[in-house]
Amino acid sequence: MSTTGKQLFTTLESNGTLTVAIEDVTFPDPVGNQVLVKMEAAPINPSDLAILTGAADLENAEYSPGKYVATMPEPFNAGSKARHGLKLPAGNEGAGTVVATGEGDKAKALMGQRVACVPGNAFSQYCIADAGMCLPLGDYSSEEGASGFVNPMTALGFAENAKMDGQDAILHTVGASNLGQMLTRICKEDGIGLVNIVRKEQQVELLKGIGASHVVNSSDEDFTKNLRAAIDETDAFYGFDPIGGGKSVDRVFKAMEQVAVTKMTEYSRYGSTQQKRMFIYGRLDVSPTVLSPSYGFGWTLSGWLLFPFLQSVGMETMGRMRKRVLDNLTTTFASHYKKRVDLEEMLTKDAVMDYRAMKTGEKYLVTPWK
Ligand SMILES: NC(=O)c1ccc[n+]([C@@H]2O[C@H](COP(=O)([O-])OP(=O)(O)OC[C@H]3O[C@@H](n4cnc5c(N)ncnc54)[C@H](OP(=O)(O)O)[C@@H]3O)[C@@H](O)[C@H]2O)c1
């Protein structure tokens, strides 16, 4: 039995032409512990936008039903050389109903169930997924489960990582994002100190409304002073940054060092011995990362990615994290959507220009059978 349906693909040619289009596809029968999921809902996350839009000129793109063709400017086109000519599926995660399974026991147990999954081609009417990675949703709807993996597990991963590293507090540079709101609730539940940086007053209100205690607004005149005070009160010398470009991390390290220096009992020309650690985990700003190392010598900057982290902690910790997400899917880990679009509506100019802006609370949900 073969199953046909629509699926989205994104292709970047070496001349900088980006084509995002829906195609009719024949999906293979699932084998072993694979399941075939009829997809009902999938969020458009910033990591999906990296291959759907990137830095392409979408204002002047050609839009036709189920397709857009845009130009990727330099240096972003040359920087994407590894994907030139590849027709890539898109959509990291989503949820739907298992309509066929392989012969493996894990797969067969999921027949007919609603599951959240991470197939990598969630912008599609059907997906093949690994049964071991599927989260049975029970009474939750597909919409409630659609964002049940990437952001929840990442936010929980930050808290787990902090605990593993002996930290009692975290600093987060984009506090009001979908993920940032989850992190705020997790830290409150777990008694972890949290310094949230935001850039708009309404984001301060939003986070205070869900129980955040230290929220600093980078648009305020006294931002640096407020940031230092929040770090001082929480001892947050450990943080996560999804901006990546510009001076986001730099200003945090500077503030951390300034706080650390005030606690020194003896002067040192080398600065404080306080260890400061930041992880860049996104590229909301694609400009170069600017560092002006004037933070003493005890600082570390590294990258953070969910899947290698999950591999490093092992199945037991991952199972515990997934259970916590499932038990609290519509509270701690709830996601909200501005709009629901089917695959064709997703590729209209109005929709593309809106979701690529990645504004707080304006995530789109793809519902391929709408
Ligand atoms: N490394 C990993 O494994 C991993 C896993 C999950 C998510 N992520 C990353 O986590 C980040 C957040 O994802 P999400 O789904 O929570 O996002 P989201 O809900 O779509 O929100 C995006 C947020 O980013 C802010 N923003 C956009 N551009 C910005 C910029 N240049 N400077 C500062 N703030 C900016 C927006 O604020 P305004 O409203 O003020 O524009 C908004 O609050 C993304 O970068 C994503 O790629 C990484």
pLDDT tens column, 21-70: 999 999 999 999 999 999 999 999 999 999 999 999 999 999 999 999 99
Is the CB of residue 358 below 6 angstroms from any atom belonging to ligand 1? yes
What was the pLDDT predicted at 293?
A: 87
Whether pLDDT at 176 is above 80: yes
Ligand 1 pocket mutation, candidates 44, 45, 311, 336, criterion most atoms within 8 A of CB: 45
What average pLDDT does range 191-220 have in this prediction?
98
What was the pLDDT predicted at 370?
A: 81
Ligand 1 center from residue 177 Cα (angstroms): 5
* Residues 6+ away with beta carbon under 8 Å from 86: 11, 12
Which is the closest atom of ligand 1 to the Cα of 283? 45
Which is the closest atom of ligand 1 to the Cα of 157? 3
Ligand 1 center from residue 354 Cα (angstroms): 15
Q: What is the largest CA-CA distance in the chain?
A: 76
Is the CB of residue 151 below 6 angstroms from any atom belonging to ligand 1? yes
What average pLDDT does range 100-110 have in this prediction?
97
What was the pLDDT predicted at 169?
A: 98
Beta bridge partners of 36: 100, 128
What was the pLDDT predicted at 256?
A: 98
- At CB < 8 A and 24+ separation, what contacts does 175-180 make? 175/203, 175/207, 175/212, 175/215, 176/200, 176/203, 176/206, 176/207, 176/360, 176/361, 177/242, 177/360, 178/147, 178/151, 178/335, 178/336, 178/363, 179/151, 179/154, 179/155, 179/242, 180/155, 180/207
Ligand 1 center from residue 358 Cα (angstroms): 7
pLDDT over 70 percentage in the chain:
100
pLDDT over 90 percentage in the chain:
98
What was the pLDDT predicted at 2?
A: 82
Nearest CA to ligand 1 atom 41: 359
Neighbours of 22 (CB within 10 A): 21
Rounded Cα gap, residues 61 and 360, in angstroms = 25
Which is the closest atom of ligand 1 to the Cα of 285? 31
Which is the closest atom of ligand 1 to the Cα of 306? 3
* Higher local confidence (pLDDT), 2 or 4: 4
Rounded Cα gap, residues 110 and 90, in angstroms = 24
Domains defined for the chain, CATH in brackets: 3-148+335-366 (3.90.180.10), 151-308 (3.40.50.720)
Which is the closest atom of ligand 1 to the Cα of 363? 20
Rounded Cα gap, residues 291 and 31, in angstroms = 49
Is the CB of residue 68 below 6 angstroms from any atom belonging to ligand 1? no
**What's the pLDDT band for 295 if we cut at 50, 70, 90?**
very high
Is the CB of residue 247 below 6 angstroms from any atom belonging to ligand 1? no
